[in-house]
Amino acid sequence: MAHRVVTLLQRIGAGKDFAIIGSSKNIGIVSRSEKELAVKALKPRYGAQVAWAIVTGLFAMWLLQKAK
């Protein structure tokens, strides 16, 4: 599972800053992803629901800017 996460992060071009939401409680996935990418994952301060709400808002802003 961790390798799939890393493959997706590499595909989208994740830089040095990334956070894993949802599976963040699975230390195995997080630590293996950090090791394969040679970066440290950001630890979300809030629960998954709040994080998804923020991501959804950012995505909506990006769509609006793209439409202009």
Distance of CA 42 to the CA centre of its chain: 9
CA distance 4 to 52: 20
pLDDT of residue 23: 59
pLDDT of residue 65: 94
CA distance 63 to 57: 10
> For the chain, which ranges sit under pLDDT 50?
none
Domain boundaries, the chain: 2-67
pTM: 0.55
pLDDT of residue 43: 78
